[in-house]
């Protein structure tokens, strides 16, 4: 299958949380990290998030200062069409693609809709479709359920995690990779390729071990 190169980027606290127990957006990135993410976004053809993140954070997912035609395509995994009509991801500042399951009928103004898979969006079909549209570099920004699906199906090439400087705690606070998890004896192997201090935090960049061994 031809698919884009897939980069995951997220920010977590030193205790491994990507949001607090209220599951709302928390700014974990330092200013330096925000600058890096801006460049990373601009270098990608598309940016993907799950409906959980749309509902929790209502992000616009655009690169400030870039005109709409230069902004990466915004992609939402939304099996049942729960993206609100007023969500910022549907604004005019970039193009938007909403991927639903085959049985969903919902449509949106300002968004292309594709329907892949039964029950949940079939990521393999979506990646193949994105590739056919010219997407060669895809940035997956979360949340934990979506990142887990990409790991589980072995579609991740690069994993970037910024670690900030405050603790949130909370047994129910979300982490970068959720889902059912891998069996203890079969973790997803990564290779650490770079480490960088960015202000009050640290950036870790890993490549999937299969890509470097």
The residues that touch ligand NAP, with contacts defined as CB under 6 A, are 10-11, 18-19, 23, 25, 28, 49-53, 56-57, 77-80, 82, 120-121, 123, 141-146, 149, 174, 178
Task: Pick between residue 70 and residue 120 the one whose CB is nearest to ligand NAP.
Answer: 120
In angstroms, the CA 78 to CA 44 distance is 21
Task: Pick between residue 93 and residue 143 the one whose CB is nearest to ligand NAP.
Answer: 143
Task: Pick between residue 24 and residue 185 the one whose CB is nearest to ligand NAP.
Answer: 24
As measured in angstroms, the least distance from the Cβ of 67 to ligand NAP is 25
As measured in angstroms, the least distance from the Cβ of 163 to ligand NAP is 11
Largest CA distance in the chain: 47
Query: Residue 65 contacts by C-beta under 8 Å, 6 or more apart in sequence?
Result: none
As measured in angstroms, the least distance from the Cβ of 9 to ligand NAP is 7
As measured in angstroms, the least distance from the Cβ of 141 to ligand NAP is 5
In angstroms, the CA 51 to CA 76 distance is 6
Strand 158-163 versus strand 201-208 pairing type:
antiparallel
In angstroms, the CA 138 to CA 181 distance is 23
Q: Where do runs of H (alpha helix) occur along 19-119?
A: 31-42, 51-57
Instruction: Please choose, from the candidates 2, 6, 7, 42, the residue with its C-alpha nearest in 3D space to the C-alpha of residue 129.
Output: 2
Return the exposure string of 156-173: e unless at least 16 CB atoms fall within 10 Å of the residue's CB, then b. bbbbbbbbbeeebeeeeb
Task: Pick between residue 6 and residue 77 the one whose CB is nearest to ligand NAP.
Answer: 77
As measured in angstroms, the least distance from the Cβ of 100 to ligand NAP is 8
Task: Pick between residue 142 and residue 201 the one whose CB is nearest to ligand NAP.
Answer: 142
∠ CA(10), CA(13), CA(179), 5° rounding? Answer: 55
How many residues make up the chain in this entry? 213
Task: Pick between residue 126 and residue 185 the one whose CB is nearest to ligand NAP.
Answer: 126
As measured in angstroms, the least distance from the Cβ of 185 to ligand NAP is 24
């Amino acid at each position: 299958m031809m698919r884009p190169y897939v980069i995951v980027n997220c920010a977590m606290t030193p205790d491994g949380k990507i949001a607090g127990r209220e599951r709302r957006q928390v700014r974990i990135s330092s200013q330096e990290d925000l600058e890096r993410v801006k460049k990373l976004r601009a270098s990608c053809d598309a940016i993907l998030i799950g409906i959980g993140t749309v509902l929790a954070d209502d992000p616009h997912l655009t690169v400030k200062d870039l005109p709409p035609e230069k902004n990466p395509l915004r992609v939402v995994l939304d099996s049942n069409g729960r993206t609100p009509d007023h969500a910022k991801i549907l604004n005019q500042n970039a193009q938007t693609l909403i991927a639903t399951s085959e049985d969903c009928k919902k449509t949106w103004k300002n968004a292309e809709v594709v329907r892949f898979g039964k029950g949940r969006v079939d990521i393999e079909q979506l990646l193949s479709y994105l590739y056919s549209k010219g997407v060669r570099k895809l940035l997956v920004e979360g949340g934990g359920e979506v990142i887990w699906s990409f790991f589980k199906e072995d579609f991740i090439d690069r994993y970037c995690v910024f670690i900030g400087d405050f603790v949130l705690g909370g047994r129910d606070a979300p982490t970068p990779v959720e889902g059912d998890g891998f069996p203890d004896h079969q973790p997803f192997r990564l290779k650490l390729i770079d480490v960088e201090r960015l202000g009050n935090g640290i950036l870790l960049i890993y490549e999937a071990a299969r890509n470097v061994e």
